[in-house]
Chain A
Amino acid sequence: MIAVETFPSIDQASSALTGDAIYLGGGTLVMRALNYGEQNFTRIVRSTDPTLKQIAASGDRITIGAGVTMAEVMASPELSFLAPVARNVGGPAVRNMASVGGNLFAEHPYGDFTVALLALKGSVTLNGGGEQEMESFLSSRSGFTEVVTSVSLVRPSERDFFWKKVSRVKPKGISVMSIAAWLPQSGGRISGARISFGAMGATPLRAKSAEAALEGQGLDQSSVAAACAAVRGDFQPPDDALASGWYRSEVAPVHLRRMLLGEGGR
């Protein structure tokens, strides 16, 4: 049998997260493992700390508590730019459960919300106040044994943020890939381009060649064509039941172009 330990504060939960314990967010992945006997834990640690539900804007950044669900993201006027992203996670019931914190750890092909956080210069705040930039967090998340209290990201202007999820089943389907881009412009030129892809590797990853192709350019047919040509070299995507790695590589430029130029099509 599993022991469940519920704590009113994150500090207490964090101290209890030792040995073969797992932290429970919304539980959509943890409970699934448990139902199938695939758990590698004997204790579940959770916290009812209200700070896990906070959403707070400060300057050009916004902080989202790790316990905030996708449905709560969609309902928050301050997070309206992330509503299309949250809406693309599961169906309505999953969105009432799936947390921002849990999405950080969701394995391929999941993790759509984290793809957007990566593009939006996201960082992860650990209990105790330590902060980790999203890319380094993702590259080391498998050995993670702490509690994430919140994530922080930039608040983009609507014009500068792009999002697209590609799935075979509509309106709810698992990602063949998901794509996010933050392309801030100054004087009509892109400065600080960030493009990230989900389901193109073990974790959400940045498309650094595509970013470089857009840097210093205007967002137009020719710069987008250069970025789409470059993106082919950015990933070695895996094969899975949804799509082969070859297929993912072939269609990534198509979906990147459609997203950036606002073209229709699936």
Chain B
Amino acid sequence: MAKTPVQFTLNGTHRAHFVDGGANLLDVLRREVGDLSPKYGCGQGTCGTCTVLINGEPHLSCLTLAESVEGKSLETTSGMANGPDLHPLQRIFMESFAAQCGYCTPGMLMAAKALLAGNPNPTREEVIEGISGNICRCTGYEPIIDAILQAAVELRSGRVA
């Protein structure tokens, strides 16, 4: 069966790919584009590790029809660092043990980035709500919540990574 062309920007770079009918965005990002930062956990919307930003908003790439991102702007964790400098969220996650096995981390970072973009000064409850679609089996969540709150302070103060 014929493949369908899809064009989008990924972390600021224009991309054009041919996708299989019914392919989900996660498969296309990992297999066609080669961006391995979004992970496959469940394929049913439950774990959140496949979270990517579409036009700045978090979406589950495993449940997103690849063709539906035509013309849209996508962000993944691969695009967070600025050259050798990690994004403050990445650095603080690393420094404060908010990542253990790291499997949930790409999704957590995406959810956190979207949260702080819309709400630079979230309460603890708002952070919990912001990552409520992301499951972590290692950390018990507390270090992740603390890291996001700490990153929010740093980002508000304008300190660059």
* Residues of A that sit less than 8 Å from B by CB: 1-4, 6, 24, 27-28, 31-32, 34-36, 44, 46, 71, 90-94, 96-97, 171-172
Q: List, in ascending order, chain A residues with CB within 8 A of B129's CB.
A: 92, 171
With A35-B43, A36-B43, A171-B128 as known contacts, state yes or no: A91 contacts B20, CB within 8 Å: no
- A4 and B51 CA atoms in complex are apart in Å by 23
- A171 and B129 CA atoms in complex are apart in Å by 6
* The one of A2, A27, A91, A96 that contacts B132, using a Cβ cutoff of 8 Å: A91
Tell me if A96 and B45 are in contact (CB < 8 A). Answer: no
Interface pairs (6), CB distance under 8 Å: A1-B21, A28-B45, A35-B24, A91-B134, A97-B59, A171-B129
Known A27-B68, A91-B131, A92-B58; 18 more pairs at CB < 8 Å: A1-B21, A2-B21, A2-B22, A3-B22, A6-B67, A27-B65, A28-B60, A34-B24, A35-B44, A44-B21, A46-B68, A71-B57, A91-B132, A91-B134, A93-B45, A93-B51, A93-B111, A171-B132
Chain A contact residues, majority secondary structure: mixed
Tell me if B21 and A93 are in contact (CB < 8 A). Answer: no
The answer to whether the Cβ of B64 comes within 8 Å of any Cβ in the partner chain is: yes
* The one of A44, A46, A96, A171 that contacts B58, using a Cβ cutoff of 8 Å: A96
The answer to whether the Cβ of B63 comes within 8 Å of any Cβ in the partner chain is: yes
- A150 and B41 CA atoms in complex are apart in Å by 34
| The 4 residue pairs across chains A and B that have the minimum distance between CB atoms | A91-B133, A2-B22, A172-B132, A35-B43
* Of listed A1, A71, A90, A92, residue having the most chain B CB within 10 A: A92
* Residues of B that sit less than 8 Å from A by CB: 1, 4, 20-22, 24, 43-45, 48, 51, 54, 57-60, 62-65, 67-68, 111, 114-115, 128-134
- A139 and B150 CA atoms in complex are apart in Å by 50
* The one of B48, B58, B67, B115 that contacts A4, using a Cβ cutoff of 8 Å: B67
Instruction: Name the residue of chain B whose CB is nearest to the CB of A44.
Output: B22
Nearest-Cβ distance from residue A95 to partner chain B, whole angstroms: 9
Q: List, in ascending order, chain A residues with CB within 8 A of B51's CB.
A: 93
Q: List, in ascending order, chain A residues with CB within 8 A of B115's CB.
A: 92
- A27 and B64 CA atoms in complex are apart in Å by 7
Number of A-B contacts (CB under 8 A): 86
With A31-B63, A36-B43 as known contacts, state yes or no: A92 contacts B20, CB within 8 Å: no
* The one of A3, A90, A97, A172 that contacts B64, using a Cβ cutoff of 8 Å: A97
Nearest-Cβ distance from residue B123 to partner chain A, whole angstroms: 13
- A92 and B54 CA atoms in complex are apart in Å by 13
- A141 and B79 CA atoms in complex are apart in Å by 43
Q: List, in ascending order, chain A residues with CB within 8 A of B133's CB.
A: 90-94, 172
With A35-B62, A94-B60 as known contacts, state yes or no: A1 contacts B68, CB within 8 Å: no
Q: List, in ascending order, chain B residues with CB within 8 A of A92's CB.
A: 58, 111, 114-115, 129-130, 132-133
Tell me if A1 and B22 are in contact (CB < 8 A). Answer: yes
Instruction: Name the residue of chain B whose CB is nearest to the CB of A172.
Output: B132
* The one of A2, A36, A71, A97 that contacts B60, using a Cβ cutoff of 8 Å: A97
